[in-house]
Structure 1
Amino acid sequence: MINQDLAKIFIEMAELLEMQDVPFKPRAYKKASESIASSGTDVREVYKKGGVKALMGIPSVGRGIAEKIDEYLATGHVREYEQMKKKIPVDISGLTAIEGVGPKAIKTLWLKLKIKSVADLEKAAEAGKIAGLAGFGKKSEEKILKGIEFLKQSGGRWRLGDILPYVRALEAELKSLKEVDELVVAGSVRRWKETIGDVDILAVSRKPKVVMAHFVGLKDVVNVYAHGETKSMVRMKNGLDIDLRVVPRESFGAALNYFTGSKNHNVALRQIALKKGWKLNEYGLFKLRGEKEKGKEEMIAGRTEEELYKKLGLRYIEPEMRENLGEIEAARKNQLPHLIGYGDLRGDLQTQTDWTDGKHSIREMAQAAIEAGLEYIAITDHTKTLAMTGGADEKKLMRQMAEIDKINADLKRQGLKFRVLKGAEVNILPNGSLDINDETLAKLDVVGAAVHTSLKLSAADQTKRVIRAMENSNVDIIFHPTDRIINRREPIALDMDEIIKAAKRTKTILEIDAHPERLDLKDEHIRKAKEAGIKFSIDSDAHTTSHFALLEFGIAQARRGWVSAREVINTLPVDKMFGLLK
């Protein structure tokens, strides 16, 4: 949890420094924020091993930032951050959540209109006060209002990737209590939904009172809604609501099933039980006894989820599939797919480096991938029309290919069975052509194409655009096909049925972008594409060495779309994977 607090402080410091036009420092704070947020190790544990010097061992954490972590661990505050917030008292996190509103825009809005919050921004936009500001205009004002409306429609739901590290840290803390025998995070977190509203935790304990006292007394708790012997509800300082229930050991499986959901899945299970003359609830599966013993029940399953499904005549259904979208009928007929496993990926086919907008070198990315257990990665830096990223032109790509040859030769000399593939994330222009010539693309191992600009085309034009790119014989994969940013930017208008048909016809791979801000394709589109016989790649979209850890989000998204390992090309050894490219 403390890692997420520090990550938030440092990203806000970066944005506040950007507002003041301070050079270099914002990038350092952003890199530190990303590194701390994605670290699997609590900074307190790192500090215990050697203080500030040990903290400097965290990637992208220099002495200055390490000293600020030290200050936070000692006082709960970072003085420089507090001073910056007093100087510029704006809700930087809330405002930057709106598409098109960055630190420089916030600076103008603050200086000219004293806008501090999303509410202030909405009021000013509705009054037409933003259109007249330098650097804005009527279209910008309309875009801001649309972004605010989109934010409202998200219903205050958290992106799973934003909150999962926090939840896992809390889970680990509660599991460490000697009074806890079993503990699982249930709900939409367990089903790997792309957004969550709150968190449900279930536990088994011999001393539930002690567990509840610890839970409501957690440092981050700011409001206790309820504090009972077996159930408590709290709000954390980040605004997340969490429920903890302690249930009897014999009912743990039934409770876990019930609180994992989904609601529609649970209703369908209860209907199966009723048809058998049984009753199913969070306490167990019960057989109702005869009329003479009316009111008496016999528990026939409930300790584990597996026995519950078996008793209902079903194969065990993985949590990611529990949406009542055909999984129960498939389980009854023994036709559930064997889902891709969380350790099945051998490679990652979309990574960026410091040749464009990534944070690390090709060698550093390769080393991180080796440490993550991968066998190959494709370097797919952006191309020239994305000037803001320093996108590569044909000459730059040729230089990068030569560099990759040297790196692969070095890896071979070291006896490492790892390969760096030559690739690119080519920009699809509005007419569907690509911004790199075919002669250069033909020399690459992997070509991914993606939409990054002209996002407001009609569905007909956008669909033609992407299909034309797929028809290029050099394009192997369409990266993040709908270009959405969850809770921030709507997907581009695409006729997904036509896209899937074209992918089948052209033998183009569709990517499942694992970055939790994207998770693109959506689960429903994955399921459609799977049923059409499309192959997928699951890629991290890594821009830093820590991003290989994001692959689990893409795997979970694939599992929600019922995908098996054989349908994902980068579960294969590299030479066999090549056989599925164009």
Structure 2
Amino acid sequence: MVTNAEIAGRFEEFADLLEADDIEYKPRAYRRAAENIQAHPVPIGDRVADGDEGVLEEIDGVGDAISSKIVEYVETGEIEELEELRAELPIDIADITRIEGVGPKTAGKLYRELGIETLDDLEAAAEANEIQKVKGFGPKTEQNIRENIEFAREVGQRYLLGEGRPLADDVLAFLEDLEAVQRCEVAGSIRRWRETIGDVDVLVGTEANEAVIDSFVNWDSVDDEIESGPEKASVRVGEIRVDLRVVVPEEFGAALQYFTGSKDHNVTLRNYAIDRGMKLNEYGAFDISELADAEEGQRVGDRVAGETEDGMYEALGLPWIPPELREDRGEIEAAETGELPDLLTRDDIRGDLHTHTEWSDGNTSIEAMVEAATERGYDYYGVADHAEGPGIVGNMGLTDTEILEQVEAIREVDAAYDIAVFAGIEANVDANGEIGLSADVIDALDIVVASPHSALDQDAEAATERLVHAIENPAVDVLGHPSGRMLNERSGLEFDATALGRSAAEHETALEINANPRRLDLWGSAVQAAVAEGAPIAVNTDAHQPSTLEFVRWGVHTARRGWAEPADVINTWELEELRAFLH
């Protein structure tokens, strides 16, 4: 199966290589197409393979030329023009551009000047002090490359949650239709909704191992069978590995708890069990209080739970702990004392406060975005296109004059729809924490989202001071994607999340969970630290087209990983309460 993520990845690579080759205009078109393909709600590859090329006409930014390339890729597994470009520029572009400050143009220059093709080449050149000799580079850039090589290697082995979870949903749908499958669920980091995953883990409860495994490895979507045996099998779907494990139904709950993890959660839980004369493993919960020390074995003792996951926790006198919390960050203690949070759900979200339109770098009109928000049943909706400033790609930011013009357009849309439409802007937090908006613009707006887009290599102390300064600005309502990271691409700012949370609580500024699956910024542990300080949180999609309003799914689960309750999240509040919060 050729996934949307895989097709989008080819056009991202296309754009990077074209940019590395100093080609203008085309890269932006390919990036826009890649974003829209990634976000498209139906599997494009399957539809094209079935002869339905009309599906491509539904995708904004995909014209005849790009459509023909998609069809070529689905049918042959290659795009001839991309292969030619790869031969011309044999650069591991995705790996190299994961280094903060090394974009496609830089990668192209380093290839032409030093012959750098891989991360190993880049590391060797940096260690030999060759990079600083290239015009436009210097010792600081070279040092930054040395410091970020390991990060680039590590993230290159993981996939975005937004790539892996849709595949996991497809796997579950396939397995649930098999007669021999009694129960099935995803496990591992994908069930804990971590922002990146190594593979997709799936668990099945069945009395017919052989039939389930045979059906799984012969699933139409499988591209390659890696291995299979009587209890487990591994395949590759597109670029992602999927691991299936089968267990007897009466041990399904124990196996689900065990294989969901995290390792740290399981270790702490097992020790908690031992202190109470119990033993936990993938086969069940066993009372071993009456056993002699010499008796060993996985199923030794009086089995008291294992069929359900709830039962595994109940056997220890604990309530079920949601998977998102299982990171050994105090969840077991909270369960013991009855203090687990009542976590945010998707139904709690009443609106989105950070989205984009064609006025800056979005793909459609204000009206189209508002209509999509209305269809989702939202009570309110915020347009926050980019203001001009450092870090905005392609000079797509709005001037003060253009912002005021857009405010008037938004007011007209607000009057025409039942949903409340807020006029906002995404301002740029510069290296000193300033946002660069005039007083007239601030007065005209309903929402100011302030986000860092440049100078993302500051040390943690400077970054914390910078972000706190922005939070303290009375014009700022939401601190957007605070680290500026792009998952698997750049690490972004490091900062003291507790300090940000404390300042946000004091100044009534919301900290954003940017739900774009390439960001998920803030992340779970940072949200938890901020919520503990009383900071308000905003779950926003940063949507650039109607379909990406669906990114809210990733934002909600990230909020849950941060122990956020509905009251912590400003876009769960009633309209009038939210209006009162906005400065």
TM-score (norm 1): 0.90
2:40 equivalent in structure 1: 39
**Equivalent residues of 1:4, 1:165 under 8 A apart:** no
- Cα displacement (A) at 1:391: 1.7
Match of 1:335 among 322, 334, 339: 339
1:362 equivalent in structure 2: 366
- Cα displacement (A) at 1:511: 1.5
CA gap of 1:420–1:50, structure 2 versus 1, over 3 A, is farther
Whichever residue aligns with residue 281 of structure 1, its letter is N
In the TM superposition, what whole-angstrom CA distance separates every residue of 1:33-78 from its partner, at most 9, and x where no partner exists? 2222222311245347862223322333223322333333333333
1:229 equivalent in structure 2: 230
Whichever residue aligns with residue 257 of structure 1, its letter is Q
**Equivalent residues of 1:18, 1:26 under 8 A apart:** yes
1:414 equivalent in structure 2: none
Whichever residue aligns with residue 259 of structure 2, its letter is F
- Cα displacement (A) at 1:545: 3.0
1:485 equivalent in structure 2: 486
- Cα displacement (A) at 1:152: 3.5
The worse-fitting range, judged by mean Cα deviation, of 548-557 and 207-216 is: 207-216
1:16 equivalent in structure 2: 17
2:408 equivalent in structure 1: 402
- The count of residues paired between Structure 1 and Structure 2 equals 575
- Cα displacement (A) at 1:284: 1.3
2:351 equivalent in structure 1: 347
Structural mapping, 1:451-530, within 5 Å? 451-457=452-458, 459-530=460-531
Distance 1:274 1:464 in 2: 45
- Cα displacement (A) at 1:9: 1.6
The worse-fitting range, judged by mean Cα deviation, of 547-556 and 162-171 is: 162-171
1:313 equivalent in structure 2: 317
Unaligned runs of 5+ in 1: 412-416
Distance 1:263 1:382 in 2: 41
- Cα displacement (A) at 1:421: 0.9
- Cα displacement (A) at 1:338: 0.6
Unaligned runs of 5+ in 2: none
SS at match of 2:433: coil
SS at match of 2:318: coil
Distance 1:490 1:102 in 2: 13
Whichever residue aligns with residue 397 of structure 2, its letter is G
Whichever residue aligns with residue 115 of structure 2, its letter is K
Match status 1:578 vs 2:567: no
Q: Alignment identity in percent?
A: 39
1:181 equivalent in structure 2: 182
The worse-fitting range, judged by mean Cα deviation, of 494-503 and 113-122 is: 494-503
CA gap of 1:419–1:88, structure 2 versus 1, over 3 A, is same
**Equivalent residues of 2:48, 2:55 under 8 A apart:** yes
Match status 1:74 vs 2:75: yes
CA-atom RMSD in angstroms: 2.8
- Cα displacement (A) at 1:557: 1.5
Structural mapping, 1:59-208, within 5 Å? 59-152=60-153, 154=155, 156-208=157-209
**Equivalent residues of 2:383, 2:424 under 8 A apart:** yes
In the TM superposition, what whole-angstrom CA distance separates every residue of 1:147-186 from its partner, at most 9, and x where no partner exists? 3233235583434334333443444444444443322110
2:268 equivalent in structure 1: 268
SS at match of 1:74: helix
Match status 1:437 vs 2:438: yes
CA gap of 1:170–1:531, structure 2 versus 1, over 3 A, is same
The worse-fitting range, judged by mean Cα deviation, of 38-47 and 346-355 is: 38-47
**Equivalent residues of 1:51, 1:70 under 8 A apart:** no
Distance 2:237 2:449 in 1: 41
2:386 equivalent in structure 1: 382
Distance 1:106 1:70 in 2: 29
**Equivalent residues of 2:355, 2:383 under 8 A apart:** yes
CA gap of 1:54–1:503, structure 2 versus 1, over 3 A, is closer
Distance 2:98 2:150 in 1: 12
Whichever residue aligns with residue 301 of structure 1, its letter is A
Whichever residue aligns with residue 535 of structure 1, its letter is P
In the TM superposition, what whole-angstrom CA distance separates every residue of 1:351-374 from its partner, at most 9, and x where no partner exists? 122222333332232233334443
CA gap of 1:271–1:410, structure 2 versus 1, over 3 A, is same
2:5 equivalent in structure 1: 4
CA gap of 1:522–1:4, structure 2 versus 1, over 3 A, is closer
- Cα displacement (A) at 1:571: 0.9
